[in-house]
Amino acid sequence: MTTVNVYQQRPTSGAKAEDPLHHADLASLVGKGRQGAGVTLREKKLLGHLTLRGDGHDATFAGAVHKATGLELPGALSLVSNGETSLQWLGPDEWLLIVPGGEELAAEQRLREALAGLHVAVVNVSGGQSLIELSGPNVRDVLMKSTSYDVHPSNFPVGKAVGTVFAKSQLVIRRTGEETWELLIRRSFADYWWLWLQDASAEYGLSIQA
């Protein structure tokens, strides 16, 4: 593996990091939605996002990833998680590791140490994407308005993750619970999806969770 410079990308001094929906001031909307709203939105902001590439058929690679993350390497269209840490399949040789905010540097260092000598790539993409969590009894109704992908439970069980077209753009839909879903979004489209979700959720009621 080539020598690379691994450094802390998150501001540690007086610089202030802003999440993609900072301008929407979601905190000010907490508690102001309809009572018994069918959809609850929570921005899981400023988490650490790392893309990992390697040979998923190599037992050494899979073992090293497990050693560094504590998670088994997931197969196609799936994710595994433990608390705020998750590992998601993105393609035949690519995965996304999400860790609590501020832990991305340590996670990258652990991965590089465990994978030393293997042909791999580890890239910190935290600044380019974010997660929006949707929960409630009407989330699937909103998803059916937004994507042509079949989100019926028989086709989209808990633990599945799919990159698809959503509101004429692209993102990843992740199902993390019976009534809980996550949208893995690109930072530059965050405002567009926020506006879309407000409109698509209007008939069911939308509440914001801190």
Q: What is the pLDDT of residues 109-134, one digit of tens each?
A: 999 999 999 999 999 999 999 999 99
Nearest CA among 84, 131, 122 for reference residue 103:
84
**In this predicted structure, what is the pLDDT of residue 9?**
64
**In this predicted structure, what is the pLDDT of residue 1?**
43
**In this predicted structure, what is the pLDDT of residue 33?**
78
Q: Which residues of the chain have pLDDT under 70?
A: 1-5, 7-13
Distances (CA, A) of 40 to 107, 115, 180, 209: 30, 39, 9, 7
How high does pLDDT run on average in the chain? 94
Is residue 172 a contact partner of residue 124, using CB atoms and an 8 Å limit?
no
